[in-house]
């Protein structure tokens, strides 16, 4: 391990590399002083997130967890951390990039430092982000292709390998829309004719809105979240709201996992609370299907599973769902024991969601 540390001491003066170098040098100094190597990071649980009044997003509190070489398992975790820092160092120097999945496989060549599964390497990268106050994009690491898209009256300029290109997200794309890049900060907003942004959980509902011309009739930018949204998707929504001054509505199913999708867009997720100011949109409003809609519209439903019930009960104590609206809706859902999908609105016809339901919801939330 000491040889690994000494090699890392030769890092370049690049700012991002220097931030990682601090971690390695700190561990090196601890070893020199005959101390047990350790690093501390904020505890990533819902009991350690606090609402920041200035940014109106949830951030980590003061509780910390220790990564220590007091145990064999802990020592291996620190070794993997150092190998990862060294890999990122060379990647930045060579101006190359890699995916989260590739990093997991690359570790197969690391002596005694292979990751057991990708979830382990993903969490380690999150640790690095928190400790360094950088983003994984700064390490030139990206997820696999996400596929989330935008359709609507928005003109952009994006960087490509062959230079830049200009795209109109209504006229120059197919029905699927413009695919959001891994680093949405490479996208420049040129012009738009939009009145609001609507972020939609499912591809089927996105297709319904596009087929019905909802984006054209209502001057809406439609963002497909593709389930739990990637950071790049949340970042582009944040930029559309803050830079173009567009209100945002989030349209999801009526189940606990969909509520968490809304929460991740609006307040940030627990595991990425260190990036909340960068990717969260605190003014976004929930326009999705609610338990009260299930009752009011007599929507087709499925029974809540045991997992659903546990998730709802957990949300009742989650500080992100502490306001009266969410408490009442979650309690109602537990009482009726039902969940429902966006597509259940088709009970009233294929045009009902675009002609009636969404306009009413958008008006109720003062988005239109």
Predicted local confidence at residue 188, as pLDDT = 95
Angle (deg, nearest 10), helices 324-336 and 306-316: 160
342 versus 163: which is more confidently predicted?
A: 342
The whole-angstrom separation of Cα 40 and Cα 278 is 23
CA angle 326, 272, 268 (to 5 degrees): 30
Beta bridge partners of 249: 198, 285
* 106 and 87 Cβ atoms separated by less than 8 Å: yes
Structure confidence at residue 67 as a pLDDT band (50, 70, 90):
confident
Distance from C-alpha of 238 to C-alpha of 281, rounded to nearest angstrom: 5
Burial 294-333 (b: 16+ CB within 10 A, else e): beebebebeebeeebeebbeebeebebbeeeebeebbeeb
pLDDT tens track for 244-295: 999 999 999 999 999 999 999 998 777 777 778 888 999 999 999 999 999 9
With contact defined as beta carbons under 8 Å apart, do 39 and 23 qualify? yes
Q: Confidence band (pLDDT; 50, 70, 90) for 9?
A: very low
Determine the distance from the C-alpha atom of residue 304 to the mean position of all C-alpha atoms in its chain, rounded to a whole number: 26
Give the model's pLDDT for residue 286: 97
| Res 101: pLDDT | 86
Query: Which H/E stretch holds residue 162?
Result: none
Alpha helices in the chain (DSSP H): 2-8, 15-32, 72-93, 100-106, 118-132, 203-211, 214-217, 231-244, 256-266, 276-279, 291-296, 306-316, 324-336, 352, 358-364
pLDDT value of residue 173: 87
Average pLDDT over residues 340-354: 91
Q: What is the pLDDT of residues 324-336, one digit of tens each?
A: 999 999 999 999 9
Residues carrying CATH 1.10.10.10, the chain: 2-142
Q: Model confidence over 105-118: pLDDT tens digits?
A: 888 889 889 998 99
Decide: 342 and 170 in contact? Cβ < 8 Å: no
Average pLDDT over residues 34-47: 86
Residue 60: is its pLDDT beyond 90?
A: no
Q: Residue 190: name the closest of 148, 243, 247 by CA.
A: 243
CA 241: distance to chain centroid?
Answer: 16
CA 118 from chain center: how many Å? 17
Least confident of 9-13, 291-295, 300-304: 9-13
Q: How far apart are CA 136 and CA 167, in angstroms?
A: 27
**What does the chain come to in residues?**
368
Residue 306: per-residue pLDDT: 97
Number of other residues whose CB lies within 10 A of the CB of residue 223: 27
pLDDT of 54 over the 90 cut: no
pLDDT for residue 284? 96
What mean pLDDT do residues 82-110 have?
A: 87
Report pLDDT for 146.
62
Predicted local distance difference test score (pLDDT) of residue 145: 59
**Could you give the residue numbers annotated as active site?**
105
Q: Which regions of the chain carry the CATH code 3.40.1360.10?
A: 149-364
Q: Residue 135: pLDDT above 80? A: yes
24's CB contacts (< 8 A; 6+ apart) are 5, 8, 9, 11, 82, 85
Summarised one tens digit per residue, pLDDT across range 166-221 is 999 999 987 779 999 888 988 999 999 999 999 999 988 998 999 999 999 999 99
The dotted CATH code for 149-364 is: 3.40.1360.10
| Sign of the dihedral through C-alpha 223, 124, 320, 254 | positive
Whether residue 130 has pLDDT greater than 80: yes
User: What local confidence, expressed as pLDDT, does residue 6 receive?
Assistant: 46
CATH number of this structure's domain 2-142, picked from the four choices 1.10.10.10, 3.40.50.10860, 3.30.360.10, 1.10.3720.10: 1.10.10.10
Output helix, strand, coil percentages for the chain, rounded to the nearest 5.
50, 20, 35
Q: State mean pLDDT over 227-252.
A: 95
DSSP classification of residue 259: H
Confidence (pLDDT) at 10: 42
């Amino acid at each position: 391990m000491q040889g690994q540390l000494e090699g890392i001491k030769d890092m370049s003066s690049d700012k991002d590399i220097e931030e990682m170098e601090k971690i390695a040098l700190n561990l090196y100094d601890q070893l020199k002083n005959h101390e047990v190597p350790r690093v501390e990071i904020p505890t990533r649980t819902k009991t350690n997130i606090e609402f920041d009044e200035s940014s109106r997003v949830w951030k980590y509190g003061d509780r910390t967890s220790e990564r220590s070489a007091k145990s064999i398992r802990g020592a291996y975790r620190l070794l993997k951390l150092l190998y990862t820092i060294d890999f990122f160092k060379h990647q930045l120097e060579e101006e190359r990039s890699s995916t989260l999945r590739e990093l997991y496989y690359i570790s197969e060549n690391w002596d005694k430092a292979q990751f057991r599964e990708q979830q382990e390497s993903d969490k380690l990268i999150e640790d690095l982000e928190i400790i360094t106050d950088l983003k994984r994009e700064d390490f030139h690491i990206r997820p696999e292709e996400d596929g989330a898209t935008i359709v609507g009256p928005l003109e952009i300029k994006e960087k490509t390998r062959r230079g830049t290109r200009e795209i109109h997200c209504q006229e120059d794309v197919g029905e699927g829309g413009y695919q959001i890049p891994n680093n949405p900060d490479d996208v420049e907003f040129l012009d738009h004719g939009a009145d609001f942004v609507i972020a939609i959980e499912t591809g089927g509902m996105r297709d319904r809105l596009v087929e019905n011309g909802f984006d054209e009739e209502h001057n809406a930018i439609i963002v497909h979240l593709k389930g739990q949204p990637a950071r790049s998707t949340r970042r582009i929504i944040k930029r559309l709201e803050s830079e173009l001054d567009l209100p945002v509505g989030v349209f999801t199913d009526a189940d606990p996992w969909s509520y968490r999708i809304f929460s991740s867009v609006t307040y940030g997720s627990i595991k990425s609370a260190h990036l909340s100011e960068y990717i969260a949109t605190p003014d976004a409003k929930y326009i999705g299907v609610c338990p009260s809609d299930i009752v009011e519209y007599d929507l087709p439903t499925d029974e809540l599973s045991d997992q659903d019930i546990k998730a709802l009960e957990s949300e009742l104590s989650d500080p992100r769902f502490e306001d009266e609206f969410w408490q009442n809706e979650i309690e109602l859902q537990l009482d009726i024991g039902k969940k429902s999908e966006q597509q259940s609105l088709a009970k009233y016809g294929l045009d009902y969601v675009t002609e009636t339901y969404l306009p009413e919801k958008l008006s109720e939330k003062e988005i239109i």
